[in-house]
Amino acid sequence: MAPWTELELSALNPLRALWLTLTAAFLLTLLLQLMPAGLLPGCALFQDLIRYGKTKCEGRSRPAVCRVFDVPKRYFSHFYITSVLWNGFLLWHLTQSLFLGVPFPYWLHGLLRILGAAQFQGGELALSAFLVLVFMWLHSLRRLFECFYVSVFSNAVIHVMQYCFGLVYYVLIGLTVLSQVPMDGRNVYVTGKNLLMQARWFHILGMMMFIWSSVHQYKCHVILGNLRKNKAGVVIHCNHRIPFGDWFEYISSPNYLAELMIYISMAVTFGFHNLTWWLVVTYVFFSQALFALLNHRFYKSKFVSYPKQRKAFLPFLF
């Protein structure tokens, strides 16, 4: 690869700058939460923006001005509806381009260029981006199913800013994947003109990791949902109880760890070397670690008998 091409690929384009900024913001927030309690920022708005659901009311009285911006947590389903529709739309365009030779629409190609997508000439594999976009769509479809048929939502809330961020996030994540597709003008560049000939060992490994992580995340959500149901599957209450089973034996929020593993599986599918996606993975790591820490503290404060050996996010470590 020519030196000028390497320089172009390594540039801090708008997408990388955005994910780097989000990573830094959540890392700083996590570090602030790890400080001694007396040194934590006391700003009610700050605490309201980083907490949601059960952790939002933990040991504190929320000001009335904060409650004005509450949105039901069950609106999480809107995130996955958006993702299924939008990322399905992107996947449809990518599929048409890969298998039928249909160029991307001018507006979509222009948007990708604004975000920093470069004109690759074979340095990336089109199959990698295609598989990752399929994984993202399947992940969103499963999570949407879980929102309707597995999870049991109480009257817990999220901030309207968190709600808006979630909607934008799933639009942005799809564009991030699509921006990694090797392009020749508005057409996808396929090395060897045969997509299946691009299959590599890391595609198989990434797929296996994705399935494994998704299965465990589903199991964890089933465990959480069953805490509020009787043996017949009927919801009988919306109280919080201590979950047991699967990864819950080691950490308080295994569903967050599984989310991280799903994104790592996509990084593997990209062939380990995709800097943009590793920035996404880093953001996911710090954001999920933050939420896991807040969950862990909630469980420990609410349940005197909470298992002492459990960690918040990483088994035996954190």
- pLDDT, tens digit, 9 for 90 and up, residues 180-224: 998 888 888 887 667 888 999 999 999 999 999 999 999 999 999
Shared-domain flag, residues 238 and 274: yes
**DSSP sequence for 137-158:** HHHHHHHHHHHHHT----S-EE
Q: Is residue 166 part of a domain?
A: yes
pLDDT value of position 3: 39
Residue 126 burial (CB < 10 Å; 0-12/13-18/19+)?
A: buried
The pair of structure tokens assigned to 23 is 């990573």
The pair of structure tokens assigned to 124 is 């990336």
Final residue before a domain boundary, out of 180, 199, 218: 199
Q: Which amino acid is at 97?
A: S
Shared-domain flag, residues 208 and 195: no
Q: Is residue 232 part of a domain?
A: yes
Q: Is residue 25 part of a domain?
A: no
Q: Which amino acid is at 113?
A: R
Q: Is residue 7 part of a domain?
A: no
The pair of structure tokens assigned to 36 is 């001694």
State the residue range of the domain holding 210: 200-317
d(CA 108, CA 93): 10
How many whole angstroms from its chain centre is CA 57? 24
Shared-domain flag, residues 124 and 242: no
Final residue before a domain boundary, out of 199, 229, 250: 199
At 122 the three-state DSSP class reads coil
d(CA 99, CA 178): 16
Q: Is residue 14 part of a domain?
A: no
d(CA 170, CA 64): 30
Final residue before a domain boundary, out of 139, 165, 199: 199
Shared-domain flag, residues 166 and 229: no
Shared-domain flag, residues 188 and 220: no
Q: Looking at the 3D structure of the chain, how many domains does it have?
A: 2
User: Is the pTM higher than 0.75?
Assistant: yes
Residue 126 and residue 189 in contact, taking contact as beta carbons nearer than 8 Å = yes
> Which residues of the chain register pLDDT less than 70?
1-10, 37-42, 57-61, 120-123, 192-193
Shared-domain flag, residues 234 and 212: yes
Of the candidates 79, 236, 87, the residue with the CA atom closest to the CA atom of residue 158: 79
Shared-domain flag, residues 276 and 301: yes
